[in-house]
Structure 1
Amino acid sequence: MKIVRTTYLSLGTNLGDKIQNLQQAVNLINDYIGHVQRISSVYSSPSWGFEGKDFYNICIEISSSLNPEKMIQKVLDIEHQLGRDRNPDGGYKDRIIDIDILLFDDEIIFYNDLKVPHPEMLKRKFVLVPLTEIAPNIIHPIAKKTILICLQQCLDSGHIEKTEIKLKRPISLVEKYNYIAIEGNIGSGKTSLANKIGDDFNAKLVLERFADNPFLPKFYADEERYAFPLEMSFLADRYHQLTDDLAQFDLFKNFIVSDYYIFKSLIFAQITLPKEEYNLYRKMFDIMYKEISKPDVYVFLYQNTDRLIENIKKRGREYEQNIQPEYLDKIHKGYSSFIKSEKALNTLVIDVSELDFVSNDSDYHKVLKQILEYNGNGHQ
């Protein structure tokens, strides 16, 4: 589990559409650095240290698991993405966006060019005024005084004016959802995505157990004879795990992510069981299903068969290497039929065939964005 720290940032702009600049920066910080907890009002002030256009300034509070080195790199990336052209001689000039790390918990950091607390923050009213608005009682780790006291003792006589402009605070998965279920075919990456989301958002993870099933080797030796007891044992285990885990929220984890849903049992049973046994199985399933909590959103990761085969080979599980494309196609058809027929679930289908959300941070955030922006009215 990652350690999440509270960090305060200062944002300023004096070029172009200043409100759009600030809002885009806040959104990108929320996507790539940490969840934005608070945003100050927007303040207007003259340029500081040079002759230029007036600035709009804000301070924000974020919770982030990034270490200081990674955080400053992400800050620079966001500034570059928004068009920041840094002055090579280090002097002040007009800029489309400026993002400074003010405080990183109560730590004192001197790392290359990164200094936290920001060495100039106590001299700047355009920093202290918005920071006091959202964190008046935070202790400055060097001055050993609250930010409010630091503002009262600040010698900066520059004019700063509070505007009526309000920026929109981005919401996170934790705020929108209590329970997300992630499904997909074999090799689609559902467990990898669940682990990444669980780690990043400190979620309670419900992962399918891969403990030895006593019927599994018998099933491989005689599928016709042992398919029914195998599927019933899987159903019982999944039912037991979901009812237990979903009923017992951790004290500090009100957000749950699972890498399967109980309907997985039904889909695989359709493939392995003859009609009569499947009908009996379905009756047992329907009884159990009534007791299972429904996810706020059911995410299905679609990958084409060729990509699934590639992923299966790449992860190298010996017992999966003989899986045939035809079998994966049957599973996909089963999921497709289920998704079309099951109207009670908020189902979001995401095509990840061309994405690598495990290794590519940008692809991962594309997936997160689709989940976050899903409105429950259809598939994206």
Structure 2
Amino acid sequence: MVTAQTYYIALGSNKGDKFKNLQDAIDFIHVRIGTITRISKVYKSPAFGFDTEESVEDFLNACLVLESHLEPENVLQELLAIETDLGRVRTKRDTYEARTIDLDIILLEDGVVNTETLQVPHPEMQNRRFVLLPLNDIAPKIKHPKLHKEVAFLLEGCVDDSVLEPINIWLKNPSKGYDFSKYNFIAIEGNIGAGKTSLATKIAHDFNAKLILERFADNPFLPKFYNDAARYAFPLEMSFLADRYQQISDDLSQLDLFKDFMVSDYDVFKSLIFSKITLQEDEFKLYRKLFYLMYKDLRKPDLYIYLYQNTARLQENIKKRGRDYEQNIDNDYLEKINSGYLEFLKTQTDFNVKIIDISNKDFMDDRSDYLWVLEEVCGRK
């Protein structure tokens, strides 16, 4: 999974409905580029660098913190496209011009970018109060990677004496609009290669959730099972039964006061689904009896999400992630698992279940698909 980078973006507008221009730009950034974690106050500031003989409206300025998996040049291209979509027309004049929207990358974590089209940190940021003041709202301790000074220190020493006025209207963060408040515990399930771990990890990161991941990689019977299913099915399922019980019991009992909810990439009932497929009938009867003895009092998720992928997409994902012991899984086994899950979910009247078909979605590489999945999971506030 590609690690997201943190960008610090400056926004400005002095043409048309200026506040709406800022909000529209934020909404576009959310959809096209990444997750917005913080937004500053909005400040009214005098136009900077314009011909004094020209009558120019004041600017509205703000800054935001953005997490994105895109590379800096790609973020720049998206920002320029958003400017165009919001009506900005660039000319070849060397002087400053009024604009519906102006979007600039100011900082990139502690990184430096120096290309023909992009310079980060922005070479003039330390000289512009309309950048430093809103940036100080949201990132006062971030250091300039070249000057090695914090934003708060740069603001204090800024020679720009422009007077900025905060306005009493706040920009809305669309990243905060997904409603997870009604859930304390979400379990995400799916077939092998469906993307449940990836989705749980993204939700936990973006929405301040405690992440619970199944520790399947440490199971010594798993590679052996794929080589000789008949011999190793029962010890594999029994080891999973014990491991899942211990892990989920521990994780659900350990509260994290700094997290808003819990999200897991598995539910304990998957043990019944897989064991029914892999075990002989007499083995399964014994296994099911042990399962209900162990799990009868275990907490159920407030929301159970099943990610449905068709078999062809599952095989693509399995090949892509490259685990050696999974490469020979046949289609019939995957189809039995899908059928087992769907049959199980039909009988669970006390579960809050959402089945989401993601066969034609790629929520890891396509942000619009990820936002679509979020809407399916929890809707909007």
TM-score normalized by the length of structure 2:
0.72
Letter in 2 for 1:22: L
From 211, 216, 222, the counterpart of 1:209: 216
Q: CA RMSD in A?
A: 4.6
The within-5 A match list for 1:281-300 is 281-290=287-296, 292=298, 294-295=300-301, 297-300=303-306
- Cross-structure match for 2:26: 26
CA offsets 1:18-66 (integer angstroms, 9 cap, x no match): 4343224334445565543432222234544445544322122345676
- Secondary structure of the residue aligned to 2:9 is strand
Taking the aligned partners of 1:90 and 1:261, their CA distance within structure 2 comes to: 61
Asked whether the 8 Å contact 2:107–2:121 carries over to 1, the reply is yes
CA offsets 1:131-185 (integer angstroms, 9 cap, x no match): 344455666563847537736754444x643322112233398986776533212
Asked whether the 8 Å contact 1:44–1:163 carries over to 2, the reply is yes
Asked whether the 8 Å contact 1:172–1:372 carries over to 2, the reply is no
Taking the aligned partners of 2:159 and 2:346, their CA distance within structure 1 comes to: 63
Judge which range, 250-259 or 22-31, deviates more: 250-259
The within-5 A match list for 1:227-306 is 230-244=236-250, 258-272=264-278, 278=284, 280-290=286-296, 292=298, 294-295=300-301, 297-306=303-312
Change (3 A) 1:372 1:44: farther
Taking the aligned partners of 1:16 and 1:244, their CA distance within structure 2 comes to: 56
**Residue 363 of structure 1 pairs with residue 369 of structure 2:** yes
- Cross-structure match for 2:379: 373
Change (3 A) 1:93 1:262: same
Judge which range, 354-363 or 143-152, deviates more: 143-152
Gaps of 5+ in 2: none
Aligned residues: 370
- Cross-structure match for 2:61: 57
Taking the aligned partners of 2:312 and 2:108, their CA distance within structure 1 comes to: 45
Letter in 1 for 2:338: H
- Secondary structure of the residue aligned to 1:356 is coil
Taking the aligned partners of 2:3 and 2:261, their CA distance within structure 1 comes to: 17
Structure with the greater relative contact order (CA < 8 A, sep ≥ 6): 1 or 2?
A: 2
Q: Identity, % of aligned pairs? A: 48
- Cross-structure match for 2:229: 220
Letter in 2 for 1:213: F
- Secondary structure of the residue aligned to 2:36 is strand
- Secondary structure of the residue aligned to 1:269 is helix
Shift of 1:348: 3.3
- Cross-structure match for 1:166: 170
- Cross-structure match for 1:36: 36
- Secondary structure of the residue aligned to 2:176 is coil
From 142, 147, 150, the counterpart of 1:142: 147
Gaps of 5+ in 1: 376-380
Taking the aligned partners of 2:79 and 2:108, their CA distance within structure 1 comes to: 14
Change (3 A) 1:347 1:73: farther
Change (3 A) 1:306 1:87: same
**Residue 185 of structure 1 pairs with residue 191 of structure 2:** yes
Change (3 A) 1:334 1:52: farther
Taking the aligned partners of 1:11 and 1:345, their CA distance within structure 2 comes to: 45
From 127, 131, 134, the counterpart of 1:130: 134
- Cross-structure match for 1:335: 341
Judge which range, 265-274 or 309-318, deviates more: 309-318
Taking the aligned partners of 2:16 and 2:305, their CA distance within structure 1 comes to: 39
Shift of 1:11: 0.8
Taking the aligned partners of 1:192 and 1:134, their CA distance within structure 2 comes to: 29
Letter in 2 for 1:40: S
Change (3 A) 1:109 1:274: closer
- Cross-structure match for 1:8: 8
- Cross-structure match for 2:330: 323
